[in-house]
Amino acid sequence: MKPYDLLFDQALTRVDAERIHHAAFRAIRAAAPVTSRLISAPTASRVGASVRVDALGLSFPHPLGLAAGFDKNAVGIDGLAALGFGHVEIGTVTGEAQPGNPQPRLFRLKADRAIVNRMGFNNDGAEVVAKRLAAWRSRNPPVAEAASHHGRTSFLGPPVLGVNIGKTKVVPEDEAVRDYEKSTGLLARHADYLVVNVSSPNTPGLRDLQAVEKLEPLLAAVRRRADEATPDRRVPLLVKIAPDLSDDDVLAVADLALASGLDGIIATNTTISRDGLASPAAAVEEIGAGGLSGQPLTQRSEDVVRLLRGRVGPDLTLVGVGGITTVDDARRRLAAGADLLQGYTAFVYEGPLWPQRIVRGLARG
């Protein structure tokens, strides 16, 4: 048993999951100067250029990034990069600040190596996050503008930064486009790539926006606003979809992505399904509603990536996320058609050395 496993099983699981998240994140931020030397630099020297990925018109030092949800407010980008993530996706950020759903709202299912959350897009809002990113960008220009970043072959330096945006809960569905436009106008200029999140189960009505007839005008509006906000460069735009879409709906989103000039698709978000869990049914029922992430998503998320790649061909960027825990999981997701990978739940269960283990494993081929 690894030391982190012992700590997790004997200590961390005895404390409310959200409290532990905030405490661990504070530690990650505080330790950044040390971890960048002890983790990033040694790992970079081992993996070299063999795992570099060119996607979205950007150069990624390797495929693995941190999914949105961990750093909702852009407060720990450097600390997360120091642990070895090649890209960090912050958010989900909404047009207006909101506290999210009542606590408790984050739960572990240890037997399934899974997490259930119903956070509800708790975040500081687009205006505050934009100011925070502006300060960060004063030290770290966008990858597309930084010639010194082109062809990066190590973890060293700032990560590729994704910004994930969603709908404010109190905004009616018929005003959702305006809400996304507000976030886009404030945040696009700071992003290496931008993600429209229409797939969280924790904001009422949000998943309805995945329907093609609603998604098409939303993506068109975000694209226009992003181009207005960044006249000097084109910020890549992606959409994040749910694993609960039917295969036909997945293919419809793929067709829309091609028709609308979307740059990529992130597959997948959390699921509302509770099928096939090892955890006791009574415990799962007691937790209640929320999105399930972790190992139970592995197969469906892989299947969605494979389905998408078969439809969109080789050029559209696909980001595989959901149930990636081991090096073999990562290899299978890449083989299914993903260009990039993201994790979150495995990072929680496996600990701070998990990113470098995955990347070293991929570098070994």
123 is in an annotated binding site: no
CA distances from 179 to 164, 167, 253, 272 (A): 13, 6, 22, 25
Q: What angle do CA 43, 83, 108 make, to 5 degrees?
A: 130
Helix (H) or strand (E) holding 47: helix 41-47
- Three-state SS string over 119-165 comes to CCCCECCHHHHHHHHHHHHCCCCCHHHCHHHCCCCCCCCCCEEEEEE
119 is in an annotated binding site: yes
Nearest to 322 by CA among 296, 358, 351: 296
148 catalytic residue (yes or no):
no
Distance separating alpha carbons of residues 147 and 59, to the nearest angstrom? 11
70 is in an annotated binding site: yes
234 is in an annotated binding site: no
323 is in an annotated binding site: yes
233 is in an annotated binding site: no
121 is in an annotated binding site: yes
140 is in an annotated binding site: no
345 secondary structure, DSSP code: H
168 is in an annotated binding site: no
Q: Which of 200, 246, 260, 273 is catalytic?
A: 200
325 is in an annotated binding site: no
131 is in an annotated binding site: no
Residue ranges of the binding site: 68-72, 92, 117-121, 164, 197, 202, 240, 268-270, 294, 323, 344-345
Residue ranges of the binding site for FMN: 68-72, 92, 164, 197, 240, 268, 294, 323, 344-345
Q: State the catalytic residues.
A: 200
Residue ranges of the binding site for substrate: 72, 117-121, 197, 202, 269-270
